[in-house]
A and B are shown apart, each in its own frame.
Chain A
């Protein structure tokens, strides 16, 4: 599903965020990316969503080489990749409903369908009662859930989360991770960047460790991976 081959990213300032990174993630897998701050976790996710371009190497997503993706095609790629950030990235002057339905509106889905699917996503994340609230009136955990609802409302095949539990307490963090795991269980390929080692080691998933932009360790999941029904 996602394949990095010898990928390097050097910023204009000269800072090398990633150095000859090579790995593969299969369809339906859930993988944690961990490492110290500045190790390159966020950069890795940004490259998948084409927010940044690699300086060297090849990136293949869903059998398509996106290394030199044209500007016109980037939106189409981004629609296949749900994004969850540490700072939620919600629109503060729009309701929860408007925030979550945004990907559907962009994709030109008819109004009735938009309403149905948005409500379904809100229900799945326990936010139905807060449909008309503004993000500022929500707690951190609720805002993160809105962010996740938006990321999954259009049922993308890939879900990326960059430090999704960064600002949350342990109980909430566990809850969020479990949510992400649930999405993985229905066939979504999930990548979570997190430096909360204790938390992620509780989940039985592959862990890729980065250090100074290089892949230093891969820990496979303890149980053998079984074929998933999609």
Chain B
């Protein structure tokens, strides 16, 4: 009984080994086919490479803009809304306390009464506001961070620290310019995503078409293979792996194109950074980005060939 169980396990293991071996052989054979038809392979790979390089390059550009924007000295200011009905003296004390901090340059107090006066003037509700029994507006402390605390990261930690003060009801970080830039970049990011999707579709179609032509060229072989009893899976495999290879090679080419473009930009970018007195480190796709690029290429290649195979392979039958 035990011997039978061992037999079964080794039989399954043997089956998996054969299966794996067959897949590996098909994978390498597909690469061999691509290698042996260099002209058409290069053309297909080039189109895929360019199609993938464009969104990749744009994403890299955005990433670089993000870091540059993040590094800028902004006119950041923190507005601290004190708890309503905080007496003026207490508000002054808090202001003085905050003014002592090393990471704060200056503090300006807008008392509740001042706030109401400003509001009456700017809103035009003057008459109606007079009817209010108590002043609902709080006192506000406008805190300007010190020079070294103006970047988003440091400003945010100062914000968090000030928020914990007992008198503070709400702490808000105003970085107008940065917010505008962020908004622009969000639009840009959406735009790049849309472009990426369209180009991804293009890659699917290109791979699909190439595989379709491949199927046409190998009609005879497919018919004979089906004649001797090959399953659909067996017949499909080489074409699917071909698609994966096209996608991977296209992704690799895209990586080279983006890298090349970055090298071209590097010189002028360094010069620009020098003029701005900023430090400059041109970001590439990085390890994660590269993996993502190759992975996306391979996935699109697989999907594209899957679609083509699904439609065209069943039309080729022995007769």
Residues of chain A within 8 A (CB-CB) of B136 are: none
Q: Does B229 contact A (CB under 8 A)?
A: yes
Total of A-B residue pairs, C-beta within 8 Å: 54
The residues in B between 130 and 169 inclusive whose CB is less than 8 angstroms from any CB of A are none
What is the 8 Å Cβ interface bit string for chain B, positions 212-235, against chain A (1 contact, 0 not)?
000000001101111111111010
What is the total number of residues of chain A having a CB less than 8 Å from a CB of chain B? 25
Is the CB–CB distance between A102 and B228 below 8 Å? Answer: yes
Residues of B within 8 A of A79 (CB): 228-229
With a cutoff of 8 Å between Cβ atoms, the chain A residues found around residue B18 in the complex are 108-110
Instruction: Give residues 80-137 of A contacting B (CB, 8 Å).
Output: 83, 89-93, 102-103, 105-111
The interface residues of chain A lying within 8 Å CB-to-CB of B318 are 51
Contact B230 A89 (CB under 8 A): no
Assembly CA distance A111 to B318 (angstroms): 27
Contacts of A90 in B (CB 8 A): 224
The answer to whether B319 and A78 have CB atoms under 8 Å apart is no
The majority secondary structure among interface residues of chain B is: helix
A92 to B223, CA, bound (A): 13
Q: How many residues of chain B get a CB closer than 8 Å to chain A's CBs? A: 22
Residue among B19, B220, B223, B225 making CB contact with A108, cutoff 8 Å: B19
**A89 touching B229, Cβ below 8 Å:** no
Whole-angstrom distance between the Cβ of B63 and the nearest chain A Cβ? 48
> How far is B223's CA from A91's CA once the two chains are assembled, in angstroms?
10
Q: Assess the B226–A75 pair: CB atoms within 8 A.
A: yes
Do B224 and A102 touch across chains, with their CB atoms under 8 A apart? yes
Return chain B residues, CB-CB under 8 Å to A108.
Answer: 15, 18-19, 22
Pick from B19, B230, B234 the residue with the most CB of A within 10 Å: B230
Identify the A interface with B (CB < 8 A).
49, 51, 71-72, 75-79, 83, 89-93, 102-103, 105-111, 150
A-B contact pairs, 12 of them (CB 8 A): A51-B319, A71-B232, A72-B232, A75-B232, A78-B229, A89-B224, A90-B224, A91-B221, A102-B224, A102-B228, A103-B228, A106-B225
Q: Shortest 4 CB-CB distances between A and B: which pairs?
A: A79-B229, A78-B229, A103-B228, A106-B230
